[in-house]
Structure 1
Amino acid sequence: CAKCTVLNGTIGLVCAKCTVLNGTIGLVCAKCTVLNGTIGLVCAKCTVLNGTIGLVCA
């Protein structure tokens, strides 16, 4: 997600507007597409930065 807020020192890894599903603010997006069997852990529209589709948001 390009519009993610930096909360952990890394650009885009944490989205401020994401829904909390795992007890940590912004680590899981409710509207993300499920690509790895877990709701919201992977965003389909995220930019690939680490060789894995959607794991890292630019």
Structure 2
Amino acid sequence: MRDIEACSRAQQNKLYHMGVRDSIPRNPLSNASKVRDRCIYADFAPSLIQVARPHFSK
């Protein structure tokens, strides 16, 4: 969650143009992760790895 918070702060100008007006603090991220099923990440991770792999295999 620290990484998500740090990245959102680093890209705040881009996020602003996408409609995210404020930074994303850790507390709401933590609260959201408590109520969501972690199994969605099991489905999402392979897709994300497939997209990222060509960019990092060079």
| TM-score category of the 2 structures, normalised to the smaller one | under 0.3
Give the structure with the higher percent helix.
2
TM-score, normalised relative to structure 2: 0.18
TM-score, normalised relative to structure 1: 0.18
Where relative contact order (Cα < 8 A, 6+ residues apart) is larger, the structure is 2
**Structure with bigger gyration radius:** 2
